[in-house]
Amino acid sequence: EVQLVESGGGLVKPGGSLRVSCAASGFTFSNAWMSWVRQAPGKGLEWVGRIKRRADGGTTDYAAPVKGRFTVSRDDSENTLYLQMNSLKTEDSGVYYCATERGETGEDYHYYYFMDVWGKGTTVIVSS
């Protein structure tokens, strides 16, 4: 069974740091692009960042609100994705989901990416 399980959430003070993890099973993790998506209380889904697979350069991209403060990394030997969050702000509070990004070739021969497997999320609360 394809599964993603997030962990590591908790309560942290503004300005503090936290690392959350996402354990993957049931698929070849090293072949997957992976993203983090969050949902602040009462708000919608917000993409946080992504890491490509090593074969595609292993590069990362980030949303503007977290760029320079958050780092997405992966350990393919442990099938685990990480999100290191530094200089946390109250507005970073929310549920953090990891998701696989998979692509398929459409009928028009373009390659389309989508997030098809999601974890259940881990809750981060930034508060004094």
Partner 1 sequence: DIQMTQSPSSLSASVGDRVTITCRTSQSISRYLNWYQHKPGRAPKLLIYAASSLQSGVTSRFSGSGSGTEFTLSITSLQPEDFATYYCQQSYSTPLTFGPGTKVEMK
Residues in contact with partner 1 by the rule CB under 8 A:
35, 37, 44-47, 50, 61-64, 97, 99, 104, 106, 108, 110, 112-116, 118-121
Alpha-carbon Rg of the chain, whole angstroms?
A: 15
Residues 6 or more apart whose Cβ sits within 8 Å of residue 61: 49, 50
Q: Which is nearer to partner 1, 4 or 88 (CB)?
A: 4
Q: Please, what is the minimum distance in Å from the beta carbon of residue 97 to partner 1?
A: 7
Q: Which is nearer to partner 1, 13 or 120 (CB)?
A: 120
Q: Which is nearer to partner 1, 90 or 114 (CB)?
A: 114
Q: Please, what is the minimum distance in Å from the beta carbon of residue 120 to partner 1?
A: 5
Q: Please, what is the minimum distance in Å from the beta carbon of residue 70 to partner 1?
A: 13
Q: Which is nearer to partner 1, 55 or 106 (CB)?
A: 106
Q: Encoding tokens for residue 125?
A: 């609360």
Cβ pair 86, 17 in contact under 8 A = yes
Separation of first and last alpha carbons in the chain? 40
DSSP annotation of 82: E
Please calculate the CA angle 49-63-117 and round it to the nearest 5 degrees: 35
Q: Please, what is the minimum distance in Å from the beta carbon of residue 81 to partner 1?
A: 15
